[in-house]
Each structure stands twice: as C-alpha cells, then as structure tokens.
C-alpha cells in the first residue's frame, strides 16, 4: 500500500500489516504516515477482522529513524513529531484484534509499535527495549504510557531509565510479551491465533473498547461504558446467533457472521 508498508488479507479475515524498510525497519516520517494510513484502511475494511503486525523474519523495527531525527530542531519536531504518536494511537484504537509478531529487535519506536497491539508474540531471538535515553531523549510514541500500564511503573522505569535490551524470556516474565515461539514459527502462530479471533463475534469490538477505554477512566465511568457496550451487543446479529446456538446445540458451537 505504501513504499515501506503493505497489507495482505487472507480468506479468514486476517490482514498482515507488514513493515519493510531495509535494513532495520527504522521508522522515518514516511513510515509513520503510512502506518497511520494503514490504521484507517484496516479500520474501514469490512473483510478484515484481525490484524498481524509484522516486520519480516529478521527484525521487527529498530525504532524511529535516528538519522532523520539527528538534524531536526525543536520547531521541526514540535510541528511534525506528534504524527508518530497519532499513527500509533490509530493502530491502538483499531476496532479489531491485533497481534504483533516480533522477530529480532523491537527497540524504541519498534517496541512502542508492538505495544499498540492487543497481544505480542515474540520469536525466541526477539529483543525488546526502550533505548531512547541513550540518545538523550525519552520514548515518544507511547512508551512511557502503554509500557507502564502493561508491565507496571517500576519495570517501565527500569527499562526507560536504563535503556537496556531484554530477551524474549525476560519479556515473557515481565508480561511484555504474551507468547514465545521459535523464530521461524512466530508469524504463523500469530496468524493462527488471529484466525481464531477472526471467527469470533462482533462483540469482540465491544470487548476491546470496554477494556482499553475503560482502563483510562474512573471505575464508575468505566462500568457505565461497559453497560452501554454490553447493551449494544443486543443490536448485533451475532448476539442472536450465539444465544440461539447455545440453547439448541450447547456451548461453543456458534458460527458468527461478524455483524
């Protein structure tokens, strides 16, 4: 779809958003613009129910393009730098299940890209980290926020203050990744999982919205959001299919339409 990103969709409704900017998938302003466009395209695509974000078999992404940033001054970054965060927020808000499949390094903005997904499947050779501090900056695409919400404030501070790199097992232990697989299998495992979610009901969108948006609210407001979205499920065809199927055939046999 763009020079450095592509979207391919299979029959099961799983799209792969592939990043391809050799040698390290560094995220320059064009890449992050393309990622924002991809988020809009994937949001609107009725044939897409789940998305795998993949950087290819060698590297997920080495972060924002340091060579592009090197020459930028305050004004330039103030005017344009927010685009990266906006694109990542659009990906995080995708109303479909998303899985990052991580081979090799996911550093800085690469780790933050993985953090936009619902789940992270890492290859056993994956290495994640937020090394921005070593460049004299802080994570600027959600790394101080999504990371601490996922792994806790202390662990996030350790990662961001120290700028260290963490292997797949360490990431699994701290909850930064959800599953670890052999490097040559991780993408396929992510697609398999995405296919299972793609067969799920429209209510998955409601669940994602309730959990993600509710996490940013006080409990009373979040519970009201939950009630609204729970009630909204009754406007879907899949709610009727799910309950009819249970009554007729027992649990877990419904074939949903994603409507």
CB of residue 86 vs ligand CAA: minimum separation in angstroms? 12
CB of residue 135 vs ligand CAA: minimum separation in angstroms? 6
Indicate the SS3 state at residue 61. strand
Q: Pick between residue 49 and residue 126 the one whose CB is nearest to ligand CAA.
A: 126
Interaction of residue 102 with ligand CAA, rule CB under 6 A = no
Interaction of residue 92 with ligand CAA, rule CB under 6 A = no
- 130 burial via Cβ count (<10 Å: 0-12, 13-18, 19+): buried
Interaction of residue 84 with ligand CAA, rule CB under 6 A = yes
Distances (CA, A) of 81 to 29, 37, 70: 8, 16, 13
> Of these, 63, 200, 201, 242, which contacts ligand CAA (CB under 6 A)?
63
Is 112 a known active-site residue? Answer: yes
Is 207 a known active-site residue? Answer: no
Interaction of residue 39 with ligand CAA, rule CB under 6 A = no
Distances (CA, A) of 184 to 55, 63, 124, 194: 13, 22, 9, 17
Q: For ligand CAA, which stretch binds (CB under 6 A), given 4-12, 59-67, 212-220, 226-234?
A: 59-67
Residue 203: how many CB atoms within 10 A of its CB? 19
> Of these, 11, 23, 251, 255, which contacts ligand CAA (CB under 6 A)?
23
251 is written with which tokens?
């649990």
Pairing of strands 14-19, 97-102: unpaired
d(C-alpha 68, C-alpha 84), whole Å: 13
Q: Which residues bind ligand CAA (CB under 6 A)?
A: 23-24, 26, 62-67, 84, 105, 107-109, 112, 131-132, 135, 139-141, 143
């Amino acid at each position: 779809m763009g020079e450095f990103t592509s979207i391919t969709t299979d029959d099961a409704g799983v799209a792969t958003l592939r990043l391809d900017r050799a040698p390290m998938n560094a995220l320059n302003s064009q890449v992050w613009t393309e990622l924002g466009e991809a988020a809009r395209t994937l949001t609107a695509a009725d044939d897409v129910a789940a998305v795998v974000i993949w950087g290819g078999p060698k590297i997920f992404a080495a972060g924002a393009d340091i060579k592009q940033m090197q020459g930028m001054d305050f004004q330039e970054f103030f005017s344009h730098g927010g685009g990266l965060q906006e694109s990542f927020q659009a990906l995080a808000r995708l109303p479909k299940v998303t899985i990052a499949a991580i081979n090799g390094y996911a550093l800085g903005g690469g780790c933050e890209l993985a953090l936009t997904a619902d789940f992270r499947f890492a290859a056993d050779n994956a290495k994640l980290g937020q090394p921005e501090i070593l460049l004299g900056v802080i994570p600027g695409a959600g790394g101080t926020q999504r990371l601490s919400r996922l792994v806790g404030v202390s662990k996030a501070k350790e990662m961001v203050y120290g700028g260290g790199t963490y292997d797949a097992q360490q990431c699994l232990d701290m909850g930064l990744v959800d599953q670890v697989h052999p490097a040559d299998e991780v993408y396929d495992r992510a697609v398999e999982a995405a296919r299972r979610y793609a067969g799920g009901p429209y209510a998955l969108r409601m669940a994602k919205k309730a959990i993600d948006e509710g996490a940013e609210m006080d409990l009373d407001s979040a519970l009201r959001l939950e009630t609204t979205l729970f009630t909204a499920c009754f406007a879907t065809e899949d709610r009727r299919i799910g309950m009819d199927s249970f009554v007729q055939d027992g649990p877990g046999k419904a074939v949903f339409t994603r409507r």
